[in-house]
Amino acid sequence: MPDTTPSLTLVAELASLESATEFARCGAVAAGLPEDCWGHLDLVVEEIFVNVVRYAYNPGTAGVVELTYSVPRPGLLSIEIADRGAEYDPMTLREPNLSCALNERSVGGMGVFLVRQLTESLDYRRDGGWNRLRFGISAASAASASQ
């Protein structure tokens, strides 16, 4: 049986972000995700993609980002974003301190936190030189994030 999993390979640069989010939108349509959670999907894809662009490869190295999507069940979209950069498991990051005052707030660290909050599942694996980060998103996970 042929592999029909849709995939897209992009250069790891900020200019590729729009192509990445457009690809993810195709997955959203395939999964039947309602339009009111497409913004949440854009956000999750941007946070993961930008982390790859900024941190995966050495400056001046032309790296790649590979995206694939599948629909495990109607209403659930699963997307894997993979790179061949330095091993990086975002699951090991500590959650940012969100209860401190402005002068003590860190300016960073909110991207992975948002990804965790907006997704139904998030899994990392190192696979033959690839970082593979897979997330699942549904209307329910997007809607419940702020509750």
Q: Which residues bind another protein (CB under 8 A)?
A: 14, 17, 39-40, 42-43, 46-47, 50, 96, 98-99, 101-103, 105-108, 110-111, 113-114, 117-118, 145-146
Phi and psi, residue 101, nearest 5°: -75, 165
CB–CB of 56/131 below 8 Å?
yes
Smallest distance from another protein to CB 107, Å: 5
Residues 98 and 105: their CA atoms lie apart, in Å, by 7
Residue placing its CB nearer to another protein in the complex, 31 or 44: 44
Q: How far is CA 7 from CA 26, 95, 98, in A?
A: 11, 31, 36
Considering the complex, state which of residue 113 and residue 124 has its C-beta at the smaller distance from another protein. Answer: 113
Shortest spacing between CB 28 and another protein, in angstroms: 14
Distance CA 59, CA 46 (A): 20
- For residue 140, which phi and psi values (nearest 5 degrees)? -65, -40
* Closest separation in Å from C-beta 93 to another protein: 13
Closer residue to another protein, CB minimum distance, 40 or 134: 40
Nearer to another protein, 85 or 111 (CB): 111
